[in-house]
Structure 1
Amino acid sequence: MNILLVDDDPTNLAVLENSVRCFGFEPTTVENGRDALRLIRTGSFQMVISDIEMPGMSGIELCREIRGRATNGYVYIILLTSYCDTESVIKGLDAGADDYMSKPFHPAELQMRLRAGKRLLSLEGRDLVIFTMAKLADHRDNETGAHLERMRLYTQLLASELSNWPQYRNTVDGQYVRLIYMTSPLHDIGKVGIPDRILLKPGPLTPEEFEIMKTHTIIGAETLESAAQHYPEADFLRMAYEIALTHHERWDGSGYPNGLAGEQIPLCGRITALADVYDALTSRRVYKPAFSHEKARRIILDGAGSHFDPAIVQAFLNVEREFIQIQHRAATDCVEQSLFQVPSFRSSLNLPMTV
């Protein structure tokens, strides 16, 4: 992440620049507010650290200018001040600063404040990116109704249950549960690259068509990997990538696209796989009616150790009541499209191998 540093004192600026670079950020330095404002207008900086007391344009005036002008995304502003009185702090925050630090600053404190700013900026963009990308795929395949909302609730339930198990406590924490809730709706983002004649086909897919359909995992992974390269600070894209790529892998290695088996499959992919199959089974689609919870449960139990990670199946059983509540609520609240529905199935394809 690029950070703009603003201070009219060359010594202070050099110390700040060295500290920021040591923390893994890329600093750009200027010695006055007007030069800073010119650079901010380019849209190249999402974070600014500025001294308050500067000739020409003070840090507080710089804050007001940034907040009063349209910029490409939110700019996180930290003000540096030699004054620790409440009045100075209030003036800075009132002008639009997000944080402040006293000079001379402690490097460890600066590092923590930079991390907090980076976290906030990541969260600001995360929800918008996820929602936009997920809805893009959903509009291509709109027969699934509230599929995305159910998916995030199912995966959240399973991850929350696993977080209570001793063997997962070091892996599945509160942050993990939040991330899988946010990113699981991107599991089928790759369907944007599948031709309509296949994606929207009301009848069974031919073997050749199914091979094309299976490429949605690769397309989705490549899309998210490209986004991650452009936004390396967006850690959530790594989980989204893993989910898109691996949610059709099977515990016994018979899934796609890479035939991964067992714990070669990322945990988020194994969780999403069960949630996706359950929702596909209990939802009405153009190629099948909605199955009852009991029938879906039997299919999932039969798939333990072959299709599904046995631990994820056990977690499903532990939160089964909550799954039923979500499924029933969806059946009541969401009237899915029936146009062009026919009583045909995806022929010889194994039903739990959802697409």
Structure 2
Amino acid sequence: MILSTANPTDAVAPHDTVLVIDDSPEILGIINALLKRDYRVKAANSGEKGLTLALAEPKPDIILLDIMMPEMNGHEVCRRLKADRATRDIPVIFLTAMNNEADEETGFALGAVDYITKPISGPILLARVRTHLGMKLAADFIKDKNIFLVGEVSKRARELEFIQDVTILTLASLAETRDNETGNHLRRTQHYVRVLAEHLQRHPHFSLLLTRTNIELITKSAPLHDIGKVGIPDHILLKPGRLTANEFFVMQTHPALGKAAIEHAERQMGRSVPFLSFAKEIAYSHQEKWDGSGYPEGLAGENIPIAARLMTVADVYDALISHRVYKPCMSHEAASEIIREGRGTHFDPDVVDAFLKIHEQFREIAARFCEVTEAESIA
């Protein structure tokens, strides 16, 4: 029940609500008389009624709670208030006729903010209520501000992620316009890399690098693996037959060109960009081989960046199952066998083992993003 609201002659109605829970009608009357001019007062003569009123609108901004009550004492009421998400932030001031240090410790441990001893002093009651309402107002402001800031940070993070995606897709699309490979090649290899990375996430050789965040960045960076082909002349890049030794030497420059293109983009922005670090590794090292016979540096084994090792398997598999002007499509089974045969020579053995365990996911990805000319060979 509400014992009283503001005096009708007041120019401004009170905004703060005080809930008083006490089994003594006299105490309820005294507190109502002291607070009614400045606050909206709600009162309950038992713990159960108090808990009900604490959830009713208007919800209290502060609760004055007697400790010694029948059936449910103040400590139990406070415990339930603090256990409920809807009421746990409402400050509780205990009212007590006792002067027991251990009793006060129990109350503070339960989450009370203060004690007022009986008999109640009007000036002390008003001062304590005013102080704790002011503190609650400040706490609510900070909480609301934090919620706003968290929302703003989340919004900015989404905007940054969008910028990252646009940057990568723009660069990848630039390479796509020069190559006879299609956008579906980029999408397929991107998905291959993701499923490989996720499978290897708990592998002891990969777990430190393949965090959820890094897997996302590696996946985003995968479409840039052949960005360097923008610098390869058309008569070599689009040649329908085998390359000559000199032409192959020129083709082997595309990893360095890709890395240089990304570094150039960073210089244009005035600083290195962390999310492009994997893109540089993939572009530069995805043609390296586990036995050191690859290019551009002839790196071997674990000297090859992990992101590039994943990309190597993804890129070779997709090249094998895809139609090119110089070769027909290959079946999934035949491509998988070539990957298996390259274990420990062309490819990282652990990555090949992962591929062989999840090769059906590769088949499914290839089918989902297949070209018309490739559909029969994948099945």
1:327 aligns with 2:366: yes
- Give 1:89 shift: 6.1
Once the two structures are superposed, residues 156-188 of structure 1 have per-residue CA deviations (whole angstroms, 9 ceiling, x without a partner) of: 010000002233222211112111111000000
Report the Cα distance in structure 2 between the residues aligned to 1:233 and 1:84, rounded to whole angstroms.
Answer: 40
Question: Which residue of 1 is the match for residue 192 of structure 2?
Answer: 154
**Partner of 2:82 in structure 1?**
none
Confirm or deny that 1:221 pairs with 2:259: yes
* CA positional deviation for 1:234: 3.0
Letter aligned with residue 273 of structure 2? A
Q: How far is the alpha carbon of 1:124 from its aligned partner?
A: 3.0
In the aligned structure 1, how far is the partner of 2:143 from the partner of 2:342? 64
Contact persistence 1:249–1:261 (CA under 8 A): yes
Aligned to 1:240: 279
Unaligned runs of 5+ in 1: 1-81, 91-97, 102-111, 338-355
In the alignment, the residues of structure 2 paired with residue 309 and residue 88 of structure 1 have an alpha-carbon distance, to the nearest angstrom, of: 51
* Distance in 1 (alpha carbons) for counterparts of 2:156 and 2:142: 27
1:5 counterpart residue number: none
What is the TM-score normalised by the length of structure 1? Answer: 0.61
Contact 2:259–2:280 (8 Å) recurs in 1:
yes
CA distance in 2, matches of 1:140, 1:269: 22
Distance 1:128 1:181 in 2: 14
Contact 1:227 1:237 (C-alpha < 8 Å) held by counterparts: no
CA contact (8 A) 2:228 2:257 kept: yes
What letter corresponds to residue 129 of structure 1 in structure 2? T
SS in 2 for 1:156: helix
Q: Distance in 1 between matches of 2:318 and 2:331?
A: 11
Alignment of 1:184 with 2:258, yes or no, is no
Which blocks of at least 5 consecutive residues in structure 2 are unaligned? 1-136, 375-379
Aligned residue for 2:372, secondary structure, equals: coil
Deviation string, structure 1 residues 232-267 (Cα, Å, up to 9, x no partner): 463111100010000000001000001100111000
Q: Determine the structure 2 residue equivalent to 1:305.
A: 344
Structure 1 residues 318 and 208, CA, compared in 2 at 3 Å: closer, same or farther? same
Match of 2:328, SS state, is coil
Task: Give deviations 1:133-174, integer Å, cap 9, x for gaps.
Answer: 101111111344510000100000100000022332222111
Q: What amino acid does structure 2 have at the position aligned with 1:177?
A: I
Change in 2 beyond 3 A, CA 1:83/1:120: farther
Matched, 1:170 2:208: yes
Q: How does 1:269-284 map to 2 (within 5 A)?
A: 269-284=308-323
Q: Which residue of 2 aligns with 1:132?
A: 170
* Aligned residues with identical type, % of pairs: 45
Q: Does 1:249 align with 2:288?
A: yes
Q: Confirm whether residue 209 of structure 1 aligns to residue 243 of structure 2.
A: no
Q: Give the distance between the partners of 2:181 and 2:265, measured in 1 at CA.
A: 27
1:1-355 mapped onto 2 (5 Å cutoff): 119-120=157-158, 122-231=160-269, 232=271, 234-331=273-370, 334-335=371-372
What is the alpha-carbon root mean square deviation over aligned residues?
2.9
1:318 Cα offset (Å):
1.4
SS in 1 for 2:241: coil
Deviations 1:34-66 (A, max 9, x none): xxxxxxxxxxxxxxxxxxxxxxxxxxxxxxxxx
Per the alignment, do residues 208 and 320 of structure 1 end up closer, same or farther by CA in structure 2, a change over 3 Å counting? same
Give the secondary-structure state (helix, strand or coil) at the position aligned to 1:269.
Answer: helix
Residues 277, 233 of structure 1: alpha-carbon distance in 2 compared, 3 angstrom cutoff: same
**How many aligned residue pairs are there?**
237
How far apart are the structure 2 equivalents of 1:252 and 1:280?
A: 20
